[in-house]
Every structure is written in C-alpha cells, then in structure tokens.
Amino acid sequence: MELGNSEERGDVEDRRGSKKPLAIGGGIGAIVIALIAGYFGIDPKVAQQVVNGGGGNTPGTGKADGYKDFSEKILGSTDSVWKEQFKKNAYKNHRGAYEPPKMVLFSDSVDSEGCGVAPSAVGPFYCPASRKVFLDPTFFEELETKLGGSKAEFSQAYVIGHEVGHHVQHLLGYVVTDEYRRLDGEKNAGIRPELQADYLAGVWAHHARDKLKINEGDIAAALKTAKAIGDNRIQEKMGRKSWPESFTHGTDTQRLKYFKQGFDTGDASEAALNRFFDKRVKSLDL
Ligand SMILES: [Zn+2]
C-alpha cells in the first residue's frame, strides 16, 4: 500500500495523552467492557483480563508517530469511496449524501460520547450515538503479539475500514432486532453486523485498490488479521475448545470469506448488503 501524499483526508481528532479516569473492577467499567468489546469481535472476557492484568498502556505513545496522518488518509479514502457508493446505489433507507464519521485516537480510555467510557483493552469500536470511530493505536501491538494478527499498515487500514463499515451499517439502518435474536439465538445474532462490516471493509478496499496501490501482500496481512480475530481463534487462545453456540462475531472462516468477497466484487448494492440480514438464513449459515 502506498499512501504517498494522498489529498483525501478524514476528520481525525487526536486525544492521546489526555487521560480519562476509569474505574475498573466490575460495575460500570465491566458493563462498558461487555458492551463495547463486541464491536470488534474481542471476547469481553479477554478484554477484562487484559484490563485486570494492567497491560497495554504502552508508554511513549506520542503524537508525533504519524498515526494521525495515517488515520486521516485512510478515513479520507473511506469517505470518498462511500460518498461515491451512496450516490451510485441510492439506498432506500438513505436518500441523501453519505455523511462521513469522525474518528478519535485515544490512549488508556475514552469517553465515547454516547456509548460510555471505554478502556483501551476493548479494542477499536464504533459508537452509533456519536457517529465516531474510536481507536487506540497500541491495539495493533496486542493484535500481533497476543492475537496472532498483523500490524502491517494495510491490516490497520482494514480495521479502520471495518469500523467505518459499522458506520455505513448504522446510516443504512441495519440493526439486530428481537426477531433476529429469536431466529439466531441471543449470542449469534451479532454475527450478522460483524460479517457485514467485514464485507464493507472489503468493498472499500476494492474501490481504493488503485489509488492506494493495494497489493496481494496487503490483502494477505488483512486476511491474517481477520482470521486472528474470529471468535473461535480467540477462544482457542484462551485455552478452550471452540463451540459454535458461543460464537458471537463469526468464525475466522466466515470473516475471511466476507472480507474477501467484498474485496473481489466491490458490490455495495442493496441486494448485496441485505443478504446479511436475510431472515431465511441463520447467522451461522452465512
Ligand atoms: Zn465490528
């Protein structure tokens, strides 16, 4: 991938270094972790463990590390791709122009302005209430060292693309209703938005491919990350056997399949997106 001096820039606020006090040890902290850990497929128990272990707060997280610049360029690229796709597809649920999300870089913990205060350990997430993507860049160290993912540039871009996917989903009104919870079971209904977000990340990458010079190696890195964060892999890391009933965000096979499908087709039509919320198909069969 080559970002060069890409002129497309998203709206990124760098809040790193400004500490937000966080009470850990049950109560609100635990609830917030459980709620938010879901957004990127990290098992809340893993997140809780990381928090309790006190790890993760890498000192020296500087504002001069170029991460703001990087995020602005990736977010800017998603802005321009989704602007184009919203125009082209004229979605029933969203007639107007695409409204880009904002992104906030943070360290330690952050006030998500509507989804509670979140510690870094929950990983990147999107808050629909504030329409913002939140990310602590030190997550990528954990991703590589603890979860077996990749911190390669494009892998990080994919993670941003996935969170922006949740924003697109929010704008288009895709939500897990009680009907889906009945159909899939409480735990598995969440697979639908996660796989759709992976697919949307793939669609973004398809349309950004030429401009950002995305190559095979980049895609391999993203696939490695998609695989690393599948629920069954995280469970294996926890020393447990994986069992389908407890999958909440899709298996690694499902995540790979849909990121790749989005990347190969670039199809953001309503029909392509509706598939993830097709009531005739159970989430585990997607
Ligand atoms: Zn997600």
CA of 5 to the centre of ligand 1 (A): 29
Flag whether 267 is in a domain.
Answer: yes
**Is residue 79, in this structure, part of any structural domain at all?**
yes
The CA 195 to ligand 1 mean position distance, Å, reads 8
Separation of CA 230 and ligand 1 centre (Å): 11
Please tell me the distance between residue 36's alpha carbon and the centre of ligand 1 in angstroms. Answer: 10
Q: Ligand 1 centroid to 243 CA: how many Å? A: 20
Query: What is the domain extent for residue 128?
Result: 12-285
- For each of the chain's 286 residues, which pLDDT tens digit applies? 998 777 899 999 999 987 655 544 445 545 555 455 555 555 444 454 444 433 333 444 556 788 999 999 999 999 999 999 999 999 999 989 999 999 999 998 999 999 888 888 778 889 999 999 999 998 888 888 888 888 889 999 999 999 999 999 999 999 999 999 999 988 888 889 999 999 999 999 999 999 999 999 999 998 888 877 765 555 555 454 444 444 466 788 888 899 999 999 999 999 999 999 999 999 989 9
What pLDDT sits at residue 71?
A: 96
Centre of ligand 1 to C-alpha 163, Å, is: 6
- pLDDT for 145 equals 86
128 CA to centre of ligand 1 in angstroms: 12
Q: What is the pLDDT of residue 22?
A: 53
Find the 249 Cα to ligand 1 centroid distance in Å. Answer: 8
| Cα 38 to averaged position of ligand 1 atoms, centre (Å) | 7
Q: How far is the CA of 206 from the centre of ligand 1 (A)?
A: 19
* Distance between Cα 39 and ligand 1 center (Å): 4
Does residue 105 fall inside a structural domain?
yes
Assess if residue 3 is contained within a domain: no
pLDDT at 278: 97
How far CA 199 is from CA of 21, 30, 101, 203, 204, in Å, comes to 35, 30, 18, 6, 9
Determine the pLDDT at residue 50: 43
pLDDT value at residue 213: 93
The CA 175 to ligand 1 mean position distance, Å, reads 13
Residue 247 Cα to ligand 1 midpoint, Å, equals 14
Does 27 reside within a domain?
yes
* CA 159–ligand 1 middle distance (angstroms): 9
Distance of CA 194 from the midpoint of ligand 1 (Å): 5
Report CA(165)–ligand 1 centroid distance (Å). Answer: 8
pTM summary value = 0.83
Q: Quick one: how far is CA 266 from the chain centroid?
A: 18
Question: How many angstroms separate the alpha carbon of residue 251 from the centre of ligand 1?
Answer: 13
In a domain, 54, yes or no: yes
Q: Does any domain span residue 220?
A: yes
The rounded Å distance from CA 158 to ligand 1 centre is 11
Tally of domains within the chain: 1
Residue 5 within a domain: no
